[in-house]
Structure 1
């Protein structure tokens, strides 16, 4: 099913792309809508108002493609359904909440390219306090994907560094499901993570590489040599567009590589951390998602960016709801509503009012039941 999806996702087909977009592109779209008078975005804003496709060659490819993503995401409202081994799942999943477990961070719940010299990957996991070394294994699962059946590779770290280069000589095949297990020197396994059954990975199919490469060539890669104070924002937008392509294909390990390199810069914008939060959330890493969203909120507040604040608070509320922290979710939704009120966003306010009403009703019933003898 995944190869059919990849084949059909033409970057210039709004109705198709729009079905699978992440919420961090919605932020930039909404910013454009509220900044028609900005000298940086007149053509982008015109494109959105007219509802047409990518404007070429009036815009640079990375900006044009990013603009296209923002339009589609506005229609899709940032929700996405994801495929996995012929099935379908929606929403966020639990995982990454116990600091005493060396849960896998990457690759996790993702499709990846075949690891090799030209496509390196790094296995990363949560560092557990007091651990001096880790044993890491790659497992192949049964065809039914109900349990791991064969350990393909094992290595023990020399120290407590929570990462290893992905082995390039391990035989992996498209169509199989794999997972990574990390065990501390005290015997604590990453399999204890509540998101264990959704923390594996699969290879994309060979025939899908051409389509992926075609999409990636439409955006300009960011390089340290290109980075200057004058073009930093455009380079960040191009990198976000590339990360977005990987995100759409559920290639979260590839997306995280790009996003983390952006986040390492002290000048990273709130959009970078919102994108990180979205990717961690879809990977089933709740606490890392919360941390990223909170960082995005800090930057949005510093820039008095009410739109970014509102969008990020809604995303944060989603994670809290996934964890069953409905009071925290409700608080974020109320604050998001306040931000949208200042922006006169009546549609968003109405949407939030419905969600607030549902959660408030749920909390009221829970409290009544807890007091019932």
Structure 2
């Protein structure tokens, strides 16, 4: 690393999983790429653990490869998980494991600030490395690293809270996400909110499959209801067959289009009547789909600040969403359906009403890429 590099970034990303989190992190790192180095946390199981897990049919942690995206190189920070690692973790000594790992890798870090994205793994490790090197560190929390995982993995809650208190600064992508951290027990003093932002595209790539889809559905008089994201429990997509049931009582002029993969892919493919399953789409194709869609839906149980809503509003596509997380910070109340009893029927009615309305809210400037990056740069520079 050259002496000119002021910053180290520590992330936990996979090249093949280019979803909302991937782009959120990429956008925040981009302004610093000329004088920084990015390390990608890469836990891998030892030979003994691999053998044991294989016999039990359990998922094995493997080393990540170096990859580069839009001029940013992501160098794997390899951390071995052996028998002693799992033993210490199971006995509640996670802090000791992080401390030992920090000592192993600290020589790689030369910047004046360590900025971690994704509170779990990268964020916790960054605080121990920063303490070893006596430098400042920032943790940016994006969503599930606060609202879901610490609650589901109770052994992580104490370490997450400790990391937040140890950090020089914690950044949350929404007010709602910071409120969740406070509920966990975070003191809140060393924190601020910097909303995610998206680039405003002048020209959007056309995707032949999406264009054909749009033309075919228009010829049938159908309107496209799009969902973009992971088809999992957090996104609450398993309720959509019930939403369709209630919507079909109001209109037959619709078609659901799903862009994403996940545990509920087969359920939706089998139980939705009017649907197309596109699977994973690259970002350019997502932009094309959003411009073609009549409405985007997001019935999530939890959220940080979903960029997909900003992307839809930026191209003039209406949105109906739940009131999870920071959604009400980006979307007006008249497009939001509170979670709770009868949600499926109320969500269907809202879709119908919004489809038949001419009004679409504009995207607030504070959710644009330039606005977000300027705030991030000022925040990081203030620590030097």
TM-score normalised per structure 1: 0.28
**Structure 1 or 2: larger strand share?**
2
Give the TM-score taking structure 2 as reference length.
0.28
The higher relative CO (CA closer than 8 Å, separation ≥ 6) is in 1
